[in-house]
Structure 1
Amino acid sequence: MRSIDYDTEQHQNYARGRALSQQQLQVWIDAFAAVLPERRPLSGLDVGSGTGRFTPALAGAFGPVTGVEPSVRMREVAQARAQHPDVRYLAGSAEDLPVPSGSADYALLFLSWHHVKDKPRAARELARVVRPGGRLLLRANFSDHHPRPWWLAHFPRGYETDAALFQPLHEVIAMFTAVGWRVASFGTVTEPSPGTYGDMLERLRLRTLSFFGQLGPDELEAGFRRLEQAVAANPGAPAPVFAEPLLTLELS
């Protein structure tokens, strides 16, 4: 996997390219609420918080949240966007979380796990900062449980290249259970449609997905040409939805 340096690429367009509608956001908050403890408030960590697309919503639903993000530019965007009195953003990473041991009721990693370089260390670090009985919400893709969004089919080696970014599910589970986590649940969440085919094409042109960093210029050109031709046939039709994996782990 080619690493993405968010301080030099993607941070300008990330919030726009990866924005969620209020309906989409609420679907995820409801999914998280279903697997978190019922008491409120909960102290949360948004690990790999990026431009803060989830952090304020987590604070509004569950209680104080610390967004942890290694990219200076992504944190700057997050801090300049929606403000919430129960949100703070700190420099850090999944391998080096800048919070006290046992201080969080839960941690969320939303499509950030594949960016973590030292995954065994991160699993231990998450076990350090989450208190016993706390939850880890891991919204990640897995090479053997891949949502296969429709647009990938138009890019050379699309599904193969995207799946190669991710670990198989059993490997992720084994890594976490080895350091004290147990599987609480595994399922999928289906967001409402993100808009029309035309809307999706405009977002994809911003290239804010890790997938695009794995392709060469010729592959990108060919893929977007095919995608544009496909979308041109019916740009106003609703874009298809797909089921997205959510693994919930509990700290013993």
Structure 2
Amino acid sequence: MRPIDYDTEQHEHYARGRVLTQQQLQVWISAFAAVLPDRRPLTGMDIGSGTGRFTPALASAFGPVVGVEPSDRMREVAQAHSPHPGVRYLPGSAEDIPVPSGSADYALLGWSWHHVRDKPRAVPELARVLRTGGRLLLRTNFSDHHPRPWWLEYFPRGYEADASIFQPLHEVIETFTSAGWRVADFRTVTEPSAGTRGDMLERLRLRTLSFFAQLTPAELEAGFRRLEQAVAVDPDGPAPVFAEPLLTLELR
């Protein structure tokens, strides 16, 4: 996967390109609640918090949250557009989390595990910041459990290029269980539709998905041309939904 520097790429359009409806956001919060302890409040970490897509909602649902994000520009957007009295945004990464040991009851890595460059270093660092029994919510795709979004079929090498970004499920599990974690839960979550097919095309044109950085300019041009032709047939139809995996790990 080509690394993405969010200080020079995507930060201007990320929040708009990856926006979630309130219904979609609530589906994810409910999925997280189902695998977290019932007591409230919980102290949370949002690792790779980006523009704060989930951070305020986590704080409202569960308790105070620290959003950790390496990109200065992404944090600037989060602080300006996703403030919350229960949220702090700090510079850092999964390999270097700027909080004391045993600070949190859970951590979310939402759509960010594939960006972690030194995964063997990140695993013990995540363990350090969680209390014993803490939960890690790993919302990522896996090369062998790929959700296959409907629009990928229109791009050359679409499914292949997107799946290549991610590890297989067994490899991710082994990385954590060999370091003392256990699998607490594995499920899929289906968001409500993101809007119309035309709405989705407009968001995809912002190219705020890692997938787009893996294609050549010619592949991008061909893919968007085919996608635009397909959407033009029914632009007001609802964007198709698909199931996305959520792996929950527990710190022993």
- TM-score, normalised to structure 2, is 0.99
Partner of 2:64: 64
1:87 aligned partner: 87
Describe how 1:19-30 pairs up with structure 2 within 5 A.
19-30=19-30
The answer to whether the Cα contact below 8 Å between 2:139 and 2:247 also exists between their aligned partners in 1 is yes
Distance in 1 between residues matched to 2:180 and 2:58, nearest whole Å: 25
Q: Which whole-Å CA distance do the structure 2 matches of 1:116 and 1:195 have between them?
A: 30
Letter paired with 2:219: E
Alignment partner, residue 200 of structure 1: 200
Alpha-carbon distance in 1 for matches of 2:129, 2:178: 16
SS in 1 for 2:136: strand
Deviation track 1:181-221 (CA, whole Å, cap 9, x = no partner) reads: 10000000000000011000000000000000011110000
Root-mean-square deviation (CA, aligned residues, Å) is: 0.5
Amino acid across the alignment from 2:87: V
Q: Which amino acid in the other structure matches residue 70 of structure 2?
A: P
For the 8 Å contact 1:55–1:87, the answer to whether it is kept is yes
Structure-to-structure mapping, 1:47-126, within 5 angstroms:
47-126=47-126
Query: What's the CA shift string for 1:208-235, capped at 9, x where partnerless?
Result: 0000001111000000000000000000
Following superposition of structure 1 onto structure 2, how do residues 216-227 of structure 1 map, counting pairs within 5 Å? 216-227=216-227
3-state SS in 2 of match to 1:156? coil
One-letter code of the match for 2:23?
A: Q
Aligned position for 2:3: 3
One-letter identity of the residue aligned with 1:165: I
Aligned residue in 2 for 1:236: 236
Aligned partner of 1:40: which letter?
R
Whether the aligned pair in 1 keeps the contact of 2:189 and 2:244 (CA below 8 Å) is yes
* Aligned position for 2:190: 190
Q: Displacement of 1:25 after TM fit?
A: 0.3
**What's the counterpart of residue 140 of structure 2?**
140
Rounded Cα–Cα distance in structure 2 between residues aligned with 1:87 and 1:185 = 27
Note the C-alpha offset of 1:82: 2.7
Letter paired with 2:52: G
Rounded to whole Å, the distance in 1 between the matches of 2:39 and 2:134 is 12
SS in 2 for 1:49: coil
Aligned residue for 2:37?
37
TM-score (norm 1): 0.99
Equivalent residues of 2:46, 2:107 under 8 A apart = yes
Q: Describe the superposition over 1:62-117 as per-residue Cα deviations: whole angstroms up to 9, x where unpaired.
A: 00000000000000000001321110000000000001111110000001000000
Answer whether contact 2:51 2:82 (CA < 8 A) is retained: no
Q: Is the contact made by 1:127 and 1:180 (CA closer than 8 Å) also made in structure 2? A: no
- 2:13 partner letter: N
Runs of 5+ unmatched residues, structure 1: none
Indicate the residue corresponding to 2:155 in structure 1.
155
Worse overlay, 81-90 or 142-151: 81-90
Cα offset, 1:180, TM superposition: 1.4
* Structure 2: runs of 5+ lacking an equivalent: none
Match of 1:170 in 2: 170
Runs of 4+ in 1 over 4 A off after TM superposition: none
1:153-185 per-position Cα deviation (integer Å, ceiling 9, x unaligned)? 000000000000000000000000111110000
Q: How many equivalent pairs are there? A: 252
